[in-house]
Structure 1
């Protein structure tokens, strides 16, 4: 919403998405480095440093990258945000439906109780 501060949760979500994007860039670079000859390869720490430096020059923001996380992701590991998303009850599409329903009810001027919201979510889950 315009003119309102973002919640701490939303700030962390944005930061996590930004970190995942930068880490994906680092993984792509590191996997390309693994294809090179051993004498020409850059290590994962060097790749992390270069990606952090490039991101700093692009945006002016500092972001931390772990070389161990880079190695795990390059081997085919899963991101923490993907793992946590799998644990949720609702898919992203279902979550959007619940949000749309909540906004629709609010525009009509009705109060949305926790009980009614739970009933709607249960209807979606049973469908």
Structure 2
């Protein structure tokens, strides 16, 4: 396809990345603000800074491995390992996030499958 094909793929990827960021932002909104996001789909790692509500300092969250699955026309993300710059957040993640299926809302499902 050449230059136009590359531009289309780039735009499509950027749009999917934006939608994936919106999903993560909406998932975390109740707890604080997503400040930045870096998704590396080839290594299946996600890094982001997050500012918890009521806190002055942000937290670095590292998702080190994840799986995207589809069951009965629903999309899920399962986090395999997660670390945070604050130990208590890492411990909460181990107890309540790691290994559990997180359902992706339908409006974000196609983007999540494409980006992750």
TM-score by length of 1: 0.28
Does 1 or 2 have the higher relative contact order (CA < 8 Å, sep 6+)?
2
Whose radius of gyration is greater, 1 or 2? 1
TM-score by length of 2: 0.30
